[in-house]
Structure 1
Amino acid sequence: MELRSSSQRKKRMYADRTKDFISELPQDIVECILLRLPIKETVRTSILSQKWRYKWTTLREIVFTEQSMVLANGKPTTNNFANIYHVLINHTGPIKKFGARFSLFKRINQFNLDLWVSLLKEKGIQEIILEFMKGKFCVAPSRLFSCERLTYLKLYGCMVKLPCPFSGLRSLNRLDLDCFDVTNAEFNRLLSGCSVLETLTLIDFDIDYLTFDIPSLRFLYVDGKFKSISFGSATHISWLRIRLLGNANGHLNQDNCCNLITILGCQTSIEKLVLQNHIMKFLSVGNIPTKFPTMFDCLKEISLTVNFKDLDEVSVVLCLLRSSPIFEHLKITVWLKRLGRQRNADDFWTAQNQIDSMDQLRFVCIDEFFGGESELQFIKYVLGKSPALEKMIIYPRKKVCSKGPKMFEQLRQYHRASVKAELVICS
Structure 2
Amino acid sequence: MPPDEQGLSLPSPDRLSNLNIYLIDDILSRLSFRDVVRVSTLSNDWQYICWRIPHVKFDQTVWKTPEDLTSPTIGFIPILESFLRFHRGIILKVTLNITSLIVCPDVDRLIFSLDTDHLQHFVLKLPFTYPPYRLPNFFFNCSALRHLYLKECEIQLPCFFKGFNKLIRLILKSVMLSSDTFESLISNCPLLEDLVLKDIDNLYPMSINAPKLRSFVFRGDIQLIYLENVPVLSNVLYAPRELVLQDEDDFVNIFSSIPALECFSWDFFEVDNGSTEVIPTRLPSALNCLKRLFMSWINLGEYLELSFSLCIIRSSPNLEEIEIKECILSDGDYFESVPQEVVDEIPASFSDITFNHLRTVKFYDVLLEEVEMQLIKVLLAKSPALVKMVIKPRQMETNKSLNVLAEITKFQRASSKVEVVYLVD
C-alpha separation in 2, matches of 1:226 and 1:367: 26
Q: CA deviation at 1:33?
A: 4.2
Matched letter for residue 336 of structure 2: L
Q: CA deviation at 1:311?
A: 3.8
Q: Residue 4 of structure 2 contacts residue 10 of structure 2 at CA under 8 Å; is this kept in 1?
A: no
**SS of residue matched to 2:108:** helix
The aligned residue for residue 121 of structure 2 is 127
1:406 aligns with 2:403: yes
Matched letter for residue 419 of structure 1: S
1:106 aligns with 2:102: yes
The aligned residue for residue 153 of structure 1 is 148
Tell me which of 232, 235, 242 is aligned to 1:236: 232
The aligned residue for residue 211 of structure 1 is 207
C-alpha separation in 2, matches of 1:229 and 1:30: 43
Q: Residue 347 of structure 2 contacts residue 374 of structure 2 at CA under 8 Å; is this kept in 1?
A: no
Segment drifting more, 226-235 vs 342-351? 342-351
Tell me which of 394, 397, 409 is aligned to 1:397: 394
Q: Residue 41 of structure 2 contacts residue 47 of structure 2 at CA under 8 Å; is this kept in 1?
A: yes
The aligned residue for residue 269 of structure 1 is 260
The aligned residue for residue 379 of structure 1 is 376
C-alpha separation in 2, matches of 1:195 and 1:279: 34
Cα 1:66–1:9 shift into 2, 3 Å: farther
Aligned-residue CA RMSD (Å):
3.1
Q: Residue 216 of structure 2 contacts residue 236 of structure 2 at CA under 8 Å; is this kept in 1?
A: yes
Between Structure 1 and Structure 2, the one with more helix by share is: 1
C-alpha separation in 2, matches of 1:345 and 1:128: 51
Matched letter for residue 416 of structure 1: R
Tell me which of 17, 21, 39 is aligned to 2:33: 39
1:199 aligns with 2:194: yes
The aligned residue for residue 80 of structure 2 is 84
Cα 1:34–1:375 shift into 2, 3 Å: closer
Superposition map of 1:244-255 within 5 A: 244-245=240-241, 247-248=242-243, 251-253=244-246, 255=247
Segment drifting more, 40-49 vs 99-108? 40-49
TM-score normalized with structure 1 length: 0.85
TM-score normalized with structure 2 length: 0.85
The aligned residue for residue 301 of structure 1 is 292
1:258-300 alpha-carbon deviations (Å, 9 max, x no partner): 3332220232211211112227779976654454443333322
Superposition map of 1:4-43 within 5 A: 8=5, 10-11=7-8, 14-17=9-12, 19-43=13-37
The aligned residue for residue 323 of structure 1 is 315
C-alpha separation in 2, matches of 1:366 and 1:341: 19
Q: CA deviation at 1:28?
A: 2.6
C-alpha separation in 2, matches of 1:223 and 1:302: 18
Matched letter for residue 334 of structure 1: E
The aligned residue for residue 62 of structure 2 is 68
C-alpha separation in 2, matches of 1:283 and 1:299: 28
1:380-417 alpha-carbon deviations (Å, 9 max, x no partner): 11111111111110111124667422122212221111
Superposition map of 1:151-190 within 5 A: 151-190=146-185
1:5-56 alpha-carbon deviations (Å, 9 max, x no partner): 9895752xx3143x43433444334334433443224235556676434333
Q: CA deviation at 1:234?
A: 1.4
Cα 1:47–1:298 shift into 2, 3 Å: same
| Structure 2 alignment gaps of length 5 or more | none
C-alpha separation in 1, matches of 2:192 and 2:96: 23
Q: CA deviation at 1:104?
A: 1.1
Segment drifting more, 283-292 vs 121-130? 283-292
Q: Residue 207 of structure 1 contacts residue 225 of structure 1 at CA under 8 Å; is this kept in 2?
A: no
C-alpha separation in 2, matches of 1:184 and 1:46: 46
The number of equivalent residue pairs is: 412
Cα 1:114–1:402 shift into 2, 3 Å: farther
**SS of residue matched to 1:258:** helix
C-alpha separation in 2, matches of 1:355 and 1:101: 53
1:223 aligns with 2:207: no
Q: CA deviation at 1:352?
A: 1.8
Tell me which of 97, 106, 118 is aligned to 2:93: 97
Matched letter for residue 252 of structure 1: L
Q: Residue 283 of structure 2 contacts residue 311 of structure 2 at CA under 8 Å; is this kept in 1?
A: yes
Matched letter for residue 89 of structure 2: G
Cα 1:33–1:274 shift into 2, 3 Å: closer
**SS of residue matched to 2:219:** strand
The aligned residue for residue 415 of structure 1 is 412
| Structure 1 alignment gaps of length 5 or more | none
Matched letter for residue 128 of structure 1: F
Segment drifting more, 39-48 vs 275-284? 275-284
Q: Residue 388 of structure 1 contacts residue 418 of structure 1 at CA under 8 Å; is this kept in 2?
A: yes
User: Percent same amino acid at aligned positions?
Assistant: 26
1:54-101 alpha-carbon deviations (Å, 9 max, x no partner): 333221101111112225x99555222221132123222211100011
The aligned residue for residue 424 of structure 1 is 421
Q: CA deviation at 1:328?
A: 1.0
Q: CA deviation at 1:216?
A: 1.7
Q: CA deviation at 1:179?
A: 3.2
Cα 1:21–1:390 shift into 2, 3 Å: closer
